[in-house]
Amino acid sequence: MHCKSLFLAGLALLCAACTAKPEAPAIIPQPADITVNEGAFKVAGAAFQIEEGIPAEAVKAIGDFQAQVERVSGKKAGKGSAIRFLLNENIGPEGYALNVKPDGATVEASDFNGFFYAIQSIKQMLPVAIYGDKPAKGNWVIPCVSIIDSPRFAYRGLLLDCCRHFFPVEEVKKVLDLMAIHKMNRLHWHLTEDQGWRIEIKKYPKLTEVGAWRNGTQVFRRAETDSTRYGGFYTQDQLRDVVAYAAERGITIIPEVDLPGHMIAALASYPELGCTGGPYEVMQYWGVHKDVLCVGKEETFTFLEDVLTEVMDIFPSEYINIGGDECPKVRWKDCPRCQARIKKLGLKDKDGFTKEHYLQNYVTARIQKFINDHGRKIIGWDEILEGDLAEGATVMSWRGTKGGIKAVEKGFDVVMSPNTYCYIDYYQTKERDKEPYRIGKYLPAEKVYGYEPMEGMPADGEEHIYGVQANLWAEFLKTPEDMEYQLLPRMSAVTEVQWCAADNKDWDRFRASLDHMAKIYEQLGFTYCKALWGQIGMPGHEIPARSAAELDTLDYNKVPFMEE
């Protein structure tokens, strides 16, 4: 009986193994619905068939993918099995359906992004060599799956700060490549700051002749700079090239011209735009500074409208980000022109806000009207909620989640970007003495992944949550490797917050999939944080000894106004 029992138990295990569903492929972000069936489909050598009527940009993306498969696998498309790309108007924006059988596969979508994202999912199921251009041996098959997929949020963004440190076009394009893999669709490009103006404006050449350069860069403590001239900017031709590159990857670039604060680089270029008349110097230190645009002068609005006109000519995005954050009112309180405008407008202190707060509301509303008149919309940081905000603006909540909740309660659309979950310039491990210099607190990938944008929102609030954005500020990101290290793997974590429904997120499943994604990072030559794999610190980066007190000076949350 004992032997018989063992035999039956073994037979039961064998049957269970035979009937168990195949393991789901490691795709990040996880598709909304995925069923894995027996068998596999050979992609190498398959024909690519494109239905008439598919958008031209999708046809190009499909053709590029076919060429890549042929180049890397070493096999030309044949006349046998095929991947068929079909137009299906019943599929919502950016969604797709992928059905893979042993003898063929079909991809259905209604728009370019849907087809493009289906290709990204197929690529993640292929050997990682597909992310290269050289012929490579591999098992060029994908599992038989049925995928119905679409994003939770329309806006899936990443902010890249190229002002504190400047990154060349080639590196920006590498970031766009990463975004494409992760199905992100908005690059918020931070292009103007106290520490550098990065966008060529033909009507105001001094913005790049003067404002794009500083005479030193803060290296650690506030009192220290390296006294080395530093800077750079993008020509309008370069910017248009990057815009086109992004569009080919389903990404819209939203430029930020931060106003009326964070404008010292502009003031150094054109000091007559300030309340005191200067002189001003492009800032060498990080933080918030009290010199801002003088909004009592009409010349300031002429300047802003001229700049924004050229910006809108370069960037076709629906939104223009006008910043609006961290604008001290010190100069306005002492400026006779600003006070005269306050008096003329009849502004008063009320509801806990000063008349200078309402002066900034006036600036926001006036610029909003100008941008609206050009067929665009504004988006700004949550400070634009202080006082009054005109209908039609979108709020980006960065100071935690309260600004976003307040915006939703007032009926505004919001992009959630709280520093508590989405500031990926923060430290990735608690062992700060082993990490490169960074600004901010400890934000591991698991905490990023655990963010739920609906938490604390009104019951019907999700209809106003336009999306989620991760922010990569560049105070201490001196090299492309620094930037990549901060992005990865937390960028992979945030993309599941952006794409996946709350009940479709699972840290253990994601962490297992991340092993495959890390191989993609390596195939593409990216530097990434390996803390989740047991390695602390940035490879090849020497860390000088520093005390706990010195480390605390790096915590931006403890030094909100660094000029005083």
Task: Considering the chain, tell me which residue range(s) the CATH 3.20.20.80 domain(s) occupy.
Answer: 155-503
What pLDDT is attached to residue 561?
A: 36
Residue 553: the pLDDT is 53
Q: Locate tokens 């002189």: which residue?
A: 279
Taking only the tens place, the pLDDT of each residue in 171-186 is 999 999 999 999 999 9
Neighbours of 540 (CB within 10 A): 7
Contact 112, 505 (CB under 8 A): no
Question: Helix, strand or coil for residue 397?
Answer: strand
User: Which residues, other chains included, contact 428 with Cβ-Cβ below 8 Å and sequence gap of 6+?
Assistant: 435, 442, 443, 444, 445, 486, 490, 529, 531
Helices 236-247, 169-181: inter-axial angle, 10-degree rounding: 20
Report whether 207 contacts 174 (CB < 8 A): no
pLDDT at 469: 98
> For residue 126, what is the DSSP state?
S
Q: Is 557 exposed, middle or buried (0-12, 13-18, 19+ CB in 10 A)?
A: exposed
Are the C-beta atoms of residues 422 and 416 closer than 8 Å to each other?
Answer: yes
Q: What is the CATH number of domain 21-149?
A: 3.30.379.10
Strand partners, 47: 82
Q: What is the pLDDT of residues 452-494, one digit of tens each?
A: 999 999 988 889 999 999 999 999 999 999 999 999 999 999 9
Residue ranges in the chain whose pLDDT is less than 70: 1-21, 221-223, 544-564
H helix intervals, 391-539 = 402-409, 419-422, 445-449, 480-487, 490-499, 507-523
Give how far the C-alpha of residue 509 lies from the chain's centroid of Cα atoms, to the nearest Å. 23
d(CA 119, CA 161): 29
Residue 224: per-residue pLDDT? 81
Helix (H, G, I), strand (E, B) or coil at 396: strand
Residues 155-503: name the CATH superfamily. Answer: Glycosidases (3.20.20.80)
The neighbour count for residue 93, using CB atoms within 10 Å, is 12
Amino acid (one-letter) located at 4: K
